[in-house]
Amino acid sequence: MTDTPDRNQEACPHQGQPLLSAGVPLAQARAALILVHGRGASAQDILGLSGVLAMPELAFLAPQARANTWYPQRFLAPLAANEPYLSSALQAVAEVVARVEAAGIPRERTALLGFSQGACLALEFSARHAARWGGVFGLSGGLIGPDGASRDDPGSLAGTPVFLGCSDVDPHIPLARVEETADVMRRLGGEVVVRIYPGMGHTINRDEIAIVRKILARLEVEGAPPSDIAP
C-alpha cells in the first residue's frame, strides 16, 4: 500500500520544510554555516545572525522545523519520547550538509551553530556524525537524552573547534548537562571550550558572537584551523 502524504508527514514531519539562506550563494562560497533555530522560533529568526557574522565567502543556511519545534518533549526526555520528530530533525540537518557537500564545500569548511533546542540538535548531530567539522557552536544547549545514558558515538571530531556557551542559571539547560556534553565532545576528539556566563539567562551574548566570528573568519581563509577560541 502506498503511503498517503499525511502518513509521510507523520513519519517525517520536518522533511519538505523550507531551507532559508543568506550571505554568499552556496555555489560561490568557500565555507558554510548551518544555523539551527530554537523551539518556537524559526529559520528566519536564527538567520538574523548572518547580519553580525557576515563574511565575504560565507554561506548561511537555516532549515525550518515543522510548527517551529524540532521535537515535542524536553531534550532530557527518553529518546523514544521525542520520536519520530528527533530522527526527522537529524535527517533535516543531514540533508543540508549533503547540499553543502554537493556544492563542493567539505565538512572541514562547514560549521554547525544552534541556539537552545537548535543547539541541542546541532550538538547531537555532530556527535552522531563525528568528523572534522569547521566548527560546532552550541549556544545554550547540550546533547540530547536522559541523564546517565551511555553514548557510543562512532567516528572522531579530529580536532574540530567546539564552543559551548551557556548561563549558570539557564532555566532550560542544566549546567551539569553542558559539562557532560563537553566531556563527550572531548572524548570524540573535539577541541572544546566552555564559557559559563553568571546570571545571563537564556540568550546569546556578544562574547559568544565574537568567539563564533573568530573561528568562522579563520575557516574562510584556512579551511580547518587549529582550535584557538580564546579571544
Residue whose C-alpha is closest to residue 116's, from 57, 167, 192, 179? 167
Q: What are the strands, taking DSSP E only, across 103-231?
A: 110-115, 135-139, 161-167, 191-197
Bond before 84 cis per omega within 30 degrees: yes
Per-residue confidence (pLDDT) for residue 231, from 0 to 100: 38
Q: What is the pTM of this model?
A: 0.93
Per-residue confidence (pLDDT) for residue 93, from 0 to 100: 98
- From CA 76, how far away is CA 141, in angstroms rounded? 11
Per-residue confidence (pLDDT) for residue 220, from 0 to 100: 62
Fold classification of 8-222 is Rossmann fold (3.40.50)
* Element housing 63 (H / E): strand 58-63
- From CA 101, how far away is CA 214, in angstroms rounded? 23
Per-residue confidence (pLDDT) for residue 137, from 0 to 100: 98
- List average pLDDT for each run of 10 residues in the chain, which is 231 residues long: 54 97 96 98 98 94 98 98 98 98 97 98 98 97 95 95 98 97 98 98 97 88 49 38
Where exactly are the structural domains of the chain?
Answer: 8-222
Per-residue confidence (pLDDT) for residue 5, from 0 to 100: 47
Distance of CA 58 to the CA centre of its chain: 17
In terms of C-beta distances under 8 Å and separation of at least 24 residues, what long-range contacts does 178-183 make, across chains too? 178/142, 180/142, 180/143, 181/123, 181/138, 181/141, 181/142, 181/143
Cβ atoms of 190 and 82 closer than 8 Å: no
- From CA 135, how far away is CA 121, in angstroms rounded? 15
Q: Which residue has the cell 523551539?
A: 39
